[in-house]
């Protein structure tokens, strides 16, 4: 579907850009100044199929401007390619960063699209050596690729998974370091963080686990887990254009977004304006 205009019966996402960024965010556009909260994330933060995603709900309950900087199919890499956007977000009272999947970033095994991080661009020589029988021309998306490789060559996938964990931690540390503001990490999955992320078919954030999150905790203002209480809400309350079926039953619904807002509220209130 197009995000430039709503389909029949669909949502108007009012897509917008900030400054020179080529990323398309959910609008309407807001001023990145004054007392505000910057909300960074992927499809879930953007609020695909959701009339009021968690940044809008947090703004309502907190009475503070919460700017939705979520982008469809964005990952950590998307934001690392946007230094001016990160400088602007760093003026916020608090930056909330949604935990995004480890598969959606360039690493020593493969490259992804710089903005739509779910798009697989190509393998490295190391990846070809690790999976010599794989035909990489059949893969266009990272989730499809990681799932297929895990089924076909589990030993090679185990090495790939460890590499993705290392890359995720390094990129998250880089992202946090570039934000000149307190950072809260938001887990907006449909299940709690697993103790060990080994299932390539699990809900987002894919291949991210509690050990990885705990490794980041010393650099964070807070870690917020929003989803466990609403893991089985299905698609109730979600809005689909026309007869379009949901792209994924794994996307969090309205109850998860409300839980995220309510759980983030005390974290936000604990941080006074910086400017």
The parent domain of residue 207 ranges over 36-269
Domain assignment present for residue 137? The answer is yes
Domain count, the chain: 1
Q: Is pLDDT above 50 for 173? A: yes
Residue 4 predicted with pLDDT over 90: no
Question: Under 8 Å CB-to-CB from 13, ≥6 apart: which residues?
Answer: 3, 6, 26, 27, 46, 47
Is residue 56 situated within a structural domain? yes
What is the predicted pLDDT for the residue at 69?
98
Q: In this structure, what CATH number is given to the domain that contains residue 136?
A: 3.40.50.1110
Computed over every residue of the chain, the mean pLDDT equals: 90
pLDDT at residue 264, rounded to an integer = 97
Percent of the chain with pLDDT over 70: 89
Tokens read off for 107: 């690493």
Q: Domain for residue 8, yes or no?
A: no
What is the reported pLDDT for 2? 43
Q: Which of 64-78, 188-202, 205-219, 246-260 has the lowest mean pLDDT?
A: 246-260
Burial of 231 (0-12, 13-18, 19+ CB in 10 A): middle
- Whether 11 maps to a domain, the answer reads no
**Widest Cα–Cα separation across the chain:** 56
User: Is 197 a domain residue?
Assistant: yes
Residue 22 lies in a domain: no
Give domain status of residue 27, yes or no: no
- Cα–Cα distances (Å) from 86 to 13, 115, 119, 199, 251, in that order, read 22, 15, 23, 32, 26
Instruction: Identify the band that residue 1 occupies on the pLDDT scale cut at 50, 70 and 90.
Output: very low
**29 lies in a domain?**
no
What global pTM score does this model have? 0.91
| Minimum mean pLDDT range among 59-73, 132-146, 186-200, 226-240 | 226-240
Per-residue pLDDT averaged across 40-66, rounded? 96
Tens digits of per-residue pLDDT, 9-43? 678 999 999 999 999 999 999 999 999 999 999 99
241-273 pLDDT per residue, tens: 755 555 555 688 888 899 999 999 999 999 876
């Amino acid at each position: 579907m197009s995000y430039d205009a709503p389909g029949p019966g669909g949502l108007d996402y009012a897509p917008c850009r900030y400054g020179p960024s080529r990323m398309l965010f959910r609008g309407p556009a807001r001023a990145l100044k004054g007392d505000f909260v910057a909300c960074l994330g992927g499809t879930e933060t953007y609020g695909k199929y959701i009339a009021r995603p968690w940044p809008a709900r947090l703004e309502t309950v907190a009475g503070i401007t919460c700017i939705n900087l979520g982008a469809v199919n964005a990952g950590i890499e998307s934001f690392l390619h946007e230094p001016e956007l990160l400088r602007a977000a760093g003026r916020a009272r608090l930056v909330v960063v949604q935990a995004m999947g480890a598969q959606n970033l360039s690493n020593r095994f493969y490259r992804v699209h710089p903005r739509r991080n779910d798009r697989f661009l190509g393998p490295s020589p190391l990846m070809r050596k690790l999976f010599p029988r794989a035909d990489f021309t059949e893969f266009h998306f990272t989730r499809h690729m990681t799932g297929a490789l895990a089924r076909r060559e589990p030993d090679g996938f185990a090495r790939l998974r460890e590499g993705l964990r290392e890359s995720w931690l390094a990129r998250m540390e880089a992202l946090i370091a570039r934000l000149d503001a307190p950072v809260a990490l938001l887990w907006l999955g449909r299940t709690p963080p697993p103790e060990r992320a080994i299932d390539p078919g699990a809900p987002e954030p894919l291949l991210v686990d509690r050990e990885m999150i705990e490794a980041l905790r010393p650099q964070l203002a807070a870690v917020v887990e929003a989803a466990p209480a609403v893991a089985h809400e299905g698609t109730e309350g979600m809005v689909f254009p026309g007869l379009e079926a949901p792209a994924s039953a794994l996307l969090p619904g309205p109850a998860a977004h409300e839980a995220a807002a309510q759980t983030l509220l005390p974290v936000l209130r604990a941080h006074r304006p910086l400017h």
